[in-house]
Amino acid sequence: MSRKQQLLKRHRRNKRIGLMIGLLVLLAIGLLVVWWLPLLLAVLAWVAHEAWFADHLFYSPSDDYDYQFAADEQLALTLTAGRVTLPETLVLGAGDTLILQVRIRASWCGRFLDPGVRILGGTADQQDFERGARGVRYLNLTGQHEALLGGRLQLQGRFCKIAEAVELSVVRHPDYRAQRLLVIAPHADDAELAAFGLYSSAEQSWVVTLTAGEIEAEHYQAMGLDRVAAARLKGSLRAWDSISVPLWAGVPQERCVQLGYFCLQLPQMQATPSVAVPSREADLSDTRYFRRFNAFALGSDADGIASWDNLVADLVELIERIEPQVIVLPHPRFDPHPDHICAQQALMQALTRSSWQPQSLLHYANHLHDNDRWPMGAAGSGVALPPQLASHGPLRPWAMSISEQQQWHKAMSLGMMHDLQPAPPFKRKLRRIIQRYLAARRWPAFGDNEFFRKAVRQHELFWVDENLSKRDIH
C-alpha cells in the first residue's frame, strides 16, 4: 500500500470515528432536550464540514515546510513595511527562479478563509496556503525580477501575518526551451497539466504517453455502452487526445507517440517484467489497439505484448530516435500516483540501457501525497512550493513563467481532453456552492474539473536533475 493510500485510509478511519461520536452526541441531545434539535444540528454540521473540513489535508497546518535548495545565491532579508529590498550588488537574470522563504501566521479569519500572500508592485499575484497555516512557507517570485530590482515589490498578508525575516533563494538555469524536449506522460493530459507552457514554447518538443487511460469509463456506460465497450471507447478517445491535442501547441502528430499500455497496470507489469498484463476493464491484452494513431511503428508492435520489458524497450528506442537534451517526467517522491511512479522508474531504467543520455531531467508533480488541493488558491495565480515536511536533500526548482495568453491556450488544451470534460457529481457541485459563499473560494469559468483550477497558473514548476551525461544515472 502506498503512502498516499495509507494517509487516506487513516483519514477515513478518523472521519468514521468522529462521525460515530457526533451521532452519539446528537442522540443524547435528542433524548435530553428536544427531538428536532439533532436534525438541525446535523444539517449545520454537514454544511460546516463541506465548507471548511472537506479538504484532504494529511498534516497539521502549523507544520513548517522544510526545503534545502541547491541555490546559486541565498540572501537573508528583512521586510520593511512589507517591501522586499535587495542589495544593490545583486544581479538577477530573466530566467532565474526566485523562491522566498516566509513565516506566516493565519488570523482568526484565516481559519475559515484561505490565508494567502498578495504580491504587489509587479505582476499581480496571490499565493494561498492551508486554512490555519502557521509556519514556514515558500513563495514563488519568479517573473517578478524587475519589481524586485526596482524595490517596488511588496508582500501583503490576506488573513495572515508575515514575519519580517525572509530568505531569498536564487536558482539559475539555462533556457530549457532552446533544447530538444521529450515529455513523458503516464496518461493523456499529464503533459498538458504539467508542461503545456514549456512544450508549446520549446524549439522542438516530443510527447510520449505511456497508457491509454481506459478505465473508470462510467461516463460512457451512462450513454448505453457495456463496461468493455465503454472502456475501449474511452481509451481510444484518450489515445486520440494524446496524439492530437499537442497540435494545438504546435507539436505535429509525428512527434507524438501513444504506447497503449493499460491504466493502473504498470505496477503489476513492473513486478513481472516479462509477463503480459491485460487491461482491467477493456478485455484487451494487445497494446496495438490503442497505438493505431501513431505516425510510425515501434519494435514492440511486432507482438503488442503489454509487458514491462516491452515498455522499457519502447522508451530506449524512442530516446535513441529522438536524442532529447531534456526529458520531462513525474517526480519520484512528490507524485504518488502508481502509474506516475512507474513511468519515472521505467524511464530511468531505459536510460541505463540507452546509448543516448540527456543533459537534464525536469521532474513534475500532478498529484501530491499530503494535500489534494495543491497548488492552492485560484486559477491564474502563482504556484507556491508544495508541502514538504522533511527535507530529503538539496533541490533545484525551476519555475517557468506562463503568460496570460499561454494560460488561456493551456486551459483550452485541457478542455479538449475527454477525461476532463464530464460534469462533476452532484455532491461536488453542492460543495462548491457552499464553499463559494462560506469559504470565498472561486473556480474558473473554463472548466468544472479541479485540474482547471490547479494547472492554469502563472508558473509551471519543475525539479531539475542536471548533467546526467557526466555521471552515473544508476
- Are 325 and 359 in contact by the 8 Å Cβ rule? The answer is yes
- Say whether domain 68-171 belongs to CATH 2.60.120: yes
**Cβ(137)–Cβ(102) below 8 Å:** yes
In angstroms, the CA 277 to CA 304 distance is: 11
Residue 55 reports pLDDT greater than 50:
yes
Best CA proximity match to 413, nearest among 250, 183, 245: 245
Architecture of domain 176-367+403-456: 3-Layer(aba) Sandwich (3.40)
Show the CA angle centred on residue 196, arms to residues 144 and 263, nearest 5°: 135
Between 471 and 238, whose confidence is greater?
Answer: 238
When pLDDT is cut at 50, 70 and 90, the band that residue 407 belongs to is very high
Q: Which value, in Å, is the radius of gyration of the alpha carbons in the chain? A: 24
Residue 449, Cβ neighbours under 10 Å: how many?
Answer: 20
Containing 459, the helix (H) or strand (E) segment is strand 459-466
Short-list 198, 179, 172, CA closest to 94: 172
Q: Please report the sign of the dihedral spanned by the C-alpha atoms of residue 134, residue 135, residue 138, residue 141.
A: positive
Helix axes 404-416, 190-201, angle to 10 degrees: 140
Give the count of beta carbons closer than 10 Å to the beta carbon of residue 355. 8
- pLDDT of 181-238, one tens digit each? 999 999 999 999 999 999 999 999 999 999 999 999 999 999 999 999 999 999 999 9
Work out the mean pLDDT of the chain and round it to a whole number: 93
Global pTM value: 0.92
